[in-house]
Amino acid sequence: MSTYKNAYNEKAVGQIVPIVLVVFLIVLYMMSAQGDRNYAASILIGAAAITMIFWARILKKFIVSQQSKFVAREPETKNWMYDLIKDEGGFVFVAEVPGPVEKITVRLVDGTLYIRGSGGFAREVPITGADRMELSDFKYRNGVLTLRIS
């Protein structure tokens, strides 16, 4: 599965909310400057400012709480197991690889075995002593990949 990347950054939220608040207060001030200079306009500006500050805090808390719900998953490379058996002619490599046989690709380049399967599965396995070797046999059955490297 793909990892979720947070769309919101706490630093960005901390900068955007005050900017919106200042723009809103400037608009309110300009509107009150157009009208009569009385206490009613000042009271309305104060009430609007308090309301805007309240909703800015609520919005910031909501965005921060939504960030913590999505946690990036650790790569599953730690859990992937394979067997590398050395025999008289080279190596035998056995591992579980997801996907149909048409989606499986295997390459051996400079002693590194590159394996790709379906669903974004990709692994690199360094094989010491296989610098001049090549893949001589490929078998894939029931999700198990068996390779002969000689």
Give the Cα-Cα-Cα angle 132, 81, 88 (nearest 5 degrees): 35
In whole angstroms, what is the distance from residue 108 CA to residue 117 CA?
15
The low-confidence residues of the chain, meaning pLDDT below 70, are 1-14, 32, 34-37, 66-78
Single out the residue of 3, 126, 143, 125 nearest to residue 75, CA to CA. 3
Model pLDDT, residue 13: 63
Does residue 17 sit in the same domain as residue 41? yes
Question: Domain span at residue 16?
Answer: 10-67
Model pLDDT, residue 141: 94
Single residue among 49, 67, 85 that ends a domain in this structure: 67
Does residue 81 sit in the same domain as residue 144? yes
Model pLDDT, residue 6: 47
Model pLDDT, residue 74: 52
Residues paired with residue 94 on neighbouring β-strands, in sequence order: 83, 146
Does residue 128 form part of some domain? yes
Handedness of CA 46, 49, 53, 58 (dihedral sign): positive
E strands, the chain, in order: 82-87, 90-96, 105-109, 112-116, 122-126, 135-141, 144-149
Structural domain total, the chain: 2
Angle formed by the axes of helices 10-34 and 39-67, nearest 10°: 170
Cβ-contact 129, 111 below 8 angstroms: yes
Model pLDDT, residue 96: 93
Does residue 89 sit in the same domain as residue 61? no
**Tens digit of each residue's pLDDT (9 = 90 or more) over 71-106:** 555 555 557 899 999 988 899 999 999 999 999 999
Cβ-contact 103, 149 below 8 angstroms: no
Residue with tokens 């059955």: 141
Model pLDDT, residue 149: 92
Does residue 3 form part of some domain? no
Does residue 4 form part of some domain? no
Does residue 88 sit in the same domain as residue 114? yes
Single residue among 67, 89, 106 that ends a domain in this structure: 67
**pTM for the whole thing?**
0.49
Does residue 132 sit in the same domain as residue 83? yes
Model pLDDT, residue 4: 41
